[in-house]
Amino acid sequence: MAPMATCKECDNEVDKLVTVKAGGKSKKMCEDCRDRAREEAAIAEESESVVQNMMGFKGRR
């Protein structure tokens, strides 16, 4: 049986860790945390573009 790994992001014991590159660094986390990190990055990107659109809209008035 393979030893369990502990995810440093959520402190859960998981079957395997995946390596995620974030901000030029590699982090090891479980697949759940990777999915969550991806979602958060997508949301952050989206809200940033919304703010830019709003500013652009204001700027044209």
- Torsion, CA 34, CA 35, CA 40, CA 43, rounded to 10: 140
Angle at 25 between CA 24 and CA 31, to 5 degrees: 115
Q: Which is nearer to Zn ion, 10 or 50 (CB)?
A: 10
Q: Which is nearer to Zn ion, 40 or 48 (CB)?
A: 40
CB of 31 to Zn ion, least distance (A): 8
Between CA 22 and CA 5 the distance in angstroms is: 20
Q: Which is nearer to Zn ion, 4 or 55 (CB)?
A: 4
Q: Which residues of the chain form contacts with Zn ion (CB under 5 A)?
A: 7, 9-10, 29-30, 33
